[in-house]
Amino acid sequence: MTQIHEPGFSLNLPGEWGQAQTDQPGTLVYLETDGIGSVTVVLLAVRPMFAIADRSRLLGDYMQHRAEFEKGQMPSLEQSDPVAWDQDGAIEGSWSAIDLESGIRQIHRVVMAGDILADFCYEATDLDVAEFAIRAAGVLDSAVVGDEPPEESDQADS
């Protein structure tokens, strides 16, 4: 088990994982050492003026923009529609995708708690649907959004 504790979130990842380099601000990437999967975490602080806005709409806008961004990166990506719900005082959302050319599967769990919006995306290739679902649930269900917000420069202002 690899335990990840970062400002704003924590994750418990099954097996051995290491952090990878990324050039995307506010984004952390973790790779399974055996090469099966990866977790990408996009962490944003919600500016106080937006914190009082319609939080469901803010989350929905983020999910829509992120899904469009990913489709732009992988044109053969087929995505489900994002869905959102209230969960224990937080707002959560999710959507899944598969790249028809590479076989890469993804599932996102987005959590808005307090002043933090965190998008956890599990991605893997060469797994059947059932095994992917089990692995993704194990990773994404362990995600906890904490009280310490990310750096001020990584703020959501949709």
Please give the Cα distance from 105 to 118 (Å, whole number). Answer: 20
Phi then psi dihedrals of residue 136, to 5 deg: -60, -45
CB 97 within 8 A of CB 81: no
pTM of the model: 0.87
Distance between CA atoms of residues 43 and 118, nearest Å: 5
pLDDT, tens only, 84-104: 998 777 899 999 999 999 999
103-144 pLDDT, tens per residue?
999 999 999 988 889 999 999 998 889 999 999 999 999 999
CATH fold of 2-152 reads Protein Transport Mog1p; Chain A (3.40.1000)
